[in-house]
A and B are shown apart, each in its own frame.
Chain A
Amino acid sequence: MTYFKLALRLLWRDARSGELTILLLALVIAVTSSTAISLFSDRLQGTMNQQAADFMAADLLITGPTKISHDWLEKARQLNLKAANGAEFSTVLIENEQLLLSSLKAVSQHYPLRGYLKTRQADYQDEQRVYSGPVVGEVWVDQRVLTSLGVNIGEPLQVGELSLTISRILSYEPDKSGTFYSLSPRVMMHIDDLAKTAILQAGSRVQYLFQFSGEEADIKQFTAWLDGKLSASQRLLDVHDNRPEIGAALERAERYLGLSSILVILIAGVAIAMAARRYTERHFNATAILRCLGCQQNQVLSLYGIQILVVGLVGSSIGCLLGWFAQYGLFYLLADLLPSTIASASLLALVIGFITGLVTLLGFALPPLLRLKKVSPLRVLRRELEPLSSSAWLVYGLAASIVAGMVWYFTQDLKLSLIIIGVGFVTLGVLAGLIVLVLLAVKTFLPKLTLSWRLGIQELVREPKANIGQILAFSITLLAMLLSFTVRNDLLKDWQNQLPANAANYFAINIFPDQVADLKLLFKQKSIPTGEFYPVVRGRLISVNNQLAKEIVAKDSVGERSIQRDLSLTWSSNLPEGNEIIAGSWQLEQASYQVSIEQELAESLHAKVGDKLGFTIRQKDFTAVISSIRKVQWDNMKPNFYLIFSPGTLDSYPSTLITSFYLSKENKPALNQLVKQYPSMTVLEVEMLLKQFEKILTQLSQAIDYLLLFALLAGISVLFASIYSTLDSRMYSGALLRTLGSSRKLLKKSQFIEFATLGLIASLLAIIAKEFVSYFLYQQVLHMPYQVNYWVWVVMPTTVSICLGFAGMFGLRRVLTSSPVQVLRNL
């Protein structure tokens, strides 16, 4: 106990003197960002787990592109389960000459079986909970439908061929899925009205929902009975499933937000390591005295270990508290992509954030701290005796292990983790090497510079190892921010800019075969240029050479995304425009069960010409042999397909057709006629799709930028950690210079030059790295033309240099304000 009290006393005195401020600050920044992410993920998980039944509006849900067998419904009835059913699909509404792509859901009498809906009977009225859906003849709509189409409650809404009365505003729906189309405003109607709309026909793109509720034992029995009966396209979810449909985009966003927080931890870790190193060095003398008085090596380690642990507990606690508030920022930025009601956080999320802080502190502060164990008592008589530095393996190995562990924790994928870690280390290595070269080059110019420049630059080149850490921290943060900002802007600009003047700006889907001739005629009459009409059957890719495709594909790959949903399968005897054969041959003979596959999908599946692909359509399985591999120009605004079959392969399945067309602004009224005449057809406006995508992209990147702010704060803590680690020697040289007659102005100027140069080097390196990464990204991944952003080359280095120059001057003000005689006496 006495020992513990001694440790706390030493800690309190050091804390009061500001010794541990930077270390604590860096730790708080790291824990705040990781806790915010942990809470965010935990609350999303909790939303799905704890409210699973309400979230599904049932105890059991079966979804799929086809209706279930009547036997299943009969079995459910026998087990005393309550049942509800529905259908969900996209359709275009037209009122007051306005068009709106909406997400329509038709529900049966007992929906929702669990949970409730929330509606309003007028604008700005209070919400009411209701426990059943709209009645026959009525429709409930999202507020956006009213504002976009200029309609009101009580007025009619044309849905396909049926006119329904808008009776309520729907503000909350428990089981709204998080797909791209769920961002379209919702329209809810009674399922008995669906047939009269004439929108759905065989082959239409629709998701059927069959919901069941009852006693848990009965549900289990029903689930067991269903085992083996579901087709590959159908999905069964019960309350224990972790991830009901909330969207792959959201899962990915969670992963990338987590990786952003690792960047924060890494940079904060550098600040912690620097601050710990200074703290350690300033305690060599005290440790020597303690050793002299009889303190053993492990007792020294315990004494300082207790202190660091207490700092960790305090820092992690503050960080957890701030993280609690910071997570609300993430929810605010991603509000449109998330369910409207989010579960509360669990204690575990806070514990994870807390432990992250302790682990980070341990990983980055332990190696410097271990030096104290090696301090010789002889140092009381020989000040020059310093303990050897910790092994570089220990220093870097511990930090690297922690970062690697965190990457794996967020990705849950070993291969992806290794790629990220590998790329990360290579990037750091290359940047560090460049920094060394730049500093060496700068050193050669030293003798030619004026005094203030020489004094400033000298500080940079004198301790290259310490300065590499600072410059790297800022470079990495600036690189991440630059990439996030420029890629987002360039991506959206490119899609808008590269379209030829008359490129198709609309897609029409769900066209039925018997409508094609008349539709083509109508397009011609209206002078609307169209592309080819391609038949489409929805089916799922299952296997490659009899091996399940899910065992082959990597996480986040084209292949993984392609097997998780039904694909649009087509057939053609001619090679479509914008497609180029790169392997095999195109000749697709009639009914030969051959298929041509897109290049990236083939690579993702490790498939080649001659391999057999297995498919399932409407519970019927079949295989097709790969006859060719195609390179596809995806951005040509024409329908493009991953898989094109030989004609006759898919004849036995009901199909719809898809085409694209160009509609000028002047000809837009023709669209209204098209939609009115063909209510089952869904028209997608490219511009509207881009706007929706832009919205998602902007929100996600804003969330990442929010976290990168923490990285910037961590970078600033590195700057101050570095300043304080060299403060003693700077004060000494400053005192000497002033004693010899140097003015404060000269010293101020040299300080500004030093940090402005540091900022200049960091920002230029970040920009160079960003150009390389962008070039690779744009050419190889995004297939966009690469161009240099010249304004970045001017604005960023100027801004960063000036900011860091002033920050450095602020941090070093003690050098100018302390009395030279006091400094020389004390040192």
Chain B
Amino acid sequence: MIISASNINQVVTSSEGELSILKDVNISIKRGESVAIIGTSGSGKTTLLSLLAGLDTATSGEISLDGKNLGKLDEDGRASLRNELIGFVFQSFQLLPTLTALENVMLPLELVGDAKAEQAATELLTRVGLAHRLTHLPKQLSGGEQQRVALARAFVTKPTILFADEPTGNLDSKTGRDVIDLLFELNQENNTTLVLVTHDLRLAERCQRTIQLEEGRVVV
């Protein structure tokens, strides 16, 4: 299993007291699999994604990525693992506004001192159809173009796992379809394990498996 989560509970403290976001969640995902996590708003999908990706730590339970127990790693350890194994695509693109498309895609490679970052980034941006937009800032790109830059950034490190959180949430339906097609193409080319959080059932159907969350629990 590339991703393994057992007995995951996530509790947060708010002004109204303790709130249980996830309750006894158990998940296993095989290498190369594509999984959609679905559920209504507030069901805990994004929270689950953040835990599986090592962006946050669970209140209780154990999560392993490629055999490494996230609970035993400190914040820097998880950061290192993210760089090594994971790519991200977000609903709001999350590009650095002061860097060009090319520089945004180069970023993950530059963080580890890869001297060939520019070459790899250029190739990937060409692959996603943005060869003519390398020097443009995010504010000069449309929503669809920004998301394609984000896809290029996600795949430039050839990640083992790709986490996507509502990747088409801020796009119109046609642009969204184009972006999703590109996402699955890249996924197949790189043989990446895909974990996709969405409330769009048609998008979920494109994945090999679906995990449904309801009020913080996995619905069997």
Distance between Cα atoms of A534 and B75 in the complex (Å)? 85
The answer, yes or no, to whether B112 is at the interface (CB within 8 Å) is yes
- Nearest chain-A residue to B90 (Cβ)? A380
> Is B113 part of the binding interface, using a Cβ–Cβ cutoff of 8 Å?
yes
B94 touches which of A3, A299, A378, A380 (Cβ 8 Å)? A380
Binary CB contact string for chain A from 1 to 42 against chain B (1 if under 8 A, 0 otherwise)? 111011001100110010000000000000000000000000
Q: Which stretch from B27-35, B79-87, B140-148 is at the chain A interface?
A: B79-87
Report the stretch among B103-111, B127-135, B167-175, B208-216 that lies at the interface: B103-111
Among A14, A17, A293, the residue within 8 A (CB) of B108 is A293
**A292 an interface residue at 8 Å Cβ cutoff?**
yes
Q: Which residues of A contact B103 (CB under 8 A)?
A: 9
Count, chain A residues at interface, CB 8 A: 28
Assess the A381–B98 pair: CB atoms within 8 A. Answer: no
Instruction: Check: A294 CB closer than 8 A to any chain B CB.
Output: yes
Contact A378 B50 (CB under 8 A): yes
Instruction: Across the interface, name the chain A residue whose C-beta is closest to B82.
Output: A294
User: Which residue in A1, A14, A292 is a CB contact (below 8 Å) of B82?
Assistant: A292
Residues in chain A near residue B108, CB distance under 8 A:
293-294
**B91-125 Cβ-contact flags toward A at 8 Å (1 or 0):** 00011111100010001101111110100000000
Neighbour of A293 across the interface among B50, B107, B115, CB < 8 A: B107
Chain B's closest residue to A9 (CB) is: B103
Q: Which B residues lie within 8 Å of A285 (CB)?
A: 94
Tell yes or no: A290 within 8 A of B by CB. Answer: yes
When C-beta atoms are compared, the residue in chain B nearest to A286 turns out to be B96
- Contact flags A268-293 to B (C-beta < 8 A → 1, else 0): 00000000000000000110011111
Give complex CA distance A127, B82 in Å: 79
Q: How far is the CB of B101 from chain A (nearest CB, A)?
A: 14
Residues of A within 8 A of B96 (CB): 10, 286, 289
Contact present for B55 and A294 (CB under 8 Å): no
A291 and B82 CA atoms in complex are apart in Å by 9
The smallest C-beta distance from A288 to any residue of chain B, in angstroms, reads 8
A2 x B117 contact (CB < 8 A) = yes
A residues less than 8 Å from B62 (CB atoms)? none
Residues of B within 8 A of A5 (CB): 110
Bound complex: CA of A296 vs CA of B84, how far in Å? Answer: 13
Q: Give the Cβ gap from B87 to chain A, nearest Cβ, in Å.
A: 9
Q: Are B55 and A381 in contact (CB under 8 A)?
A: yes
Task: Give the Cβ gap from B69 to chain A, nearest Cβ, in Å.
Answer: 18
Are B98 and A297 interface neighbours, CB within 8 A?
Answer: no
Q: Which residues of A contact B49 (CB under 8 A)?
A: 381
Taking the closest CB of chain B, its distance from the CB of A719, in whole angstroms, is: 26
Q: Is the CB of B110 within 8 A of A377?
A: no
**Which residue of chain B has the shortest Cβ distance to A379 in the bound complex?**
B55
> How far is the CB of A296 from the nearest CB of chain B, in Å?
4
CB distance from A665 to the nearest CB of B (A): 76
Chain A residue with minimal CB distance to B109? A2
Query: Is A295 in contact with chain B by the CB < 8 A criterion?
Result: yes
A-B contact count (CB 8 A): 82
CB distance from B86 to the nearest CB of A (A): 8
Give the distance in Å from the alpha carbon of A13 to the alpha carbon of B95 in the complex: 14
Is B76 an interface residue, CB under 8 A from the partner?
yes
User: Taking A9-B103, A295-B79, A296-B76 as contacts, is the C-beta distance between A290 and B111 under 8 angstroms?
Assistant: yes
Given A9-B99, A294-B108: A2 touches B115 (CB 8 Å cut-off) = yes
Task: Select A381's contact among B46, B75, B113, beta carbons within 8 Å.
Answer: B46
B83: contacting residue among A13, A294, A297, CB under 8 A: A294
Cβ A294 vs Cβ B112 within 8 A: yes
A residues less than 8 Å from B97 (CB atoms): 286
Are A295 and B111 also in contact (CB < 8 A) when A289-B96, A377-B55, A381-B165 are? yes
Q: Judging by beta carbons under 8 Å apart, are A14 and B50 in contact?
A: no
Q: Does B155 belong to the interface (CB within 8 Å)?
A: no
**Contacts of A378 on B, CB cut-off 8 Å?**
50, 55-56
CB-defined contacts of B82 to chain A, threshold 8 Å: 292-294, 377
**Could you tell me if B76 and A297 are in contact, using CB atoms closer than 8 angstroms?**
yes
The answer to whether B80 and A296 touch across the interface, beta carbons within 8 angstroms, is yes
Type the 1/0 row for B38-59, where 1 means its CB is closer than 8 Å to any CB of A: 0000000010011000011000
Tell me if B110 and A3 are in contact (CB < 8 A): yes
- Closest partner residue, chain A, to B137 (CB atom): A13
The 8 A CB mask of A244-286 against B (1 = contact, 0 = none) is 0000000000000000000000000000000000000000011
Which residues A349-382 have CB closer than 8 A to chain B?
376-378, 380-381
Partner of B99 from the list A13, A292, A296 (CB cut-off 8 Å) is A13
Complex alpha-carbon distance, A1 and B108, angstroms: 15
Q: A381-B46, A381-B165 are in contact. Are A292 and B88 (CB under 8 A)?
A: yes
Given A378-B55, A381-B55, is A2 in contact with B83 using a C-beta cutoff of 8 Å? no
The distance in angstroms between the C-alpha atoms of A297 and B77, with both chains bound, is 10
Contact between chains at B111 and A294 (CB < 8 Å)? yes
For window 299-320 of A, CB contacts with B under 8 Å fall at 299
A290 CB contacts on chain B under 8 angstroms: 107, 111
- Residue contact B90 to A381, C-beta cutoff 8 Å: yes
User: Would you mind naming 20 contact pairs between A and B with Cβ atoms under 8 Å apart?
Assistant: A1-B113, A2-B113, A3-B110, A6-B107, A10-B99, A17-B98, A291-B79, A293-B88, A293-B108, A294-B79, A294-B80, A294-B82, A294-B83, A294-B111, A295-B79, A298-B76, A299-B111, A376-B56, A378-B56, A380-B88
Given contacts A289-B95, A292-B94, A299-B111, 6 further A-B contacts (CB under 8 A): A2-B115, A3-B113, A17-B98, A293-B108, A376-B56, A381-B165
Q: Which 7 residue pairs spanning A and B have beta carbons closest together? A: A294-B83, A13-B98, A296-B76, A378-B55, A294-B82, A293-B108, A377-B55
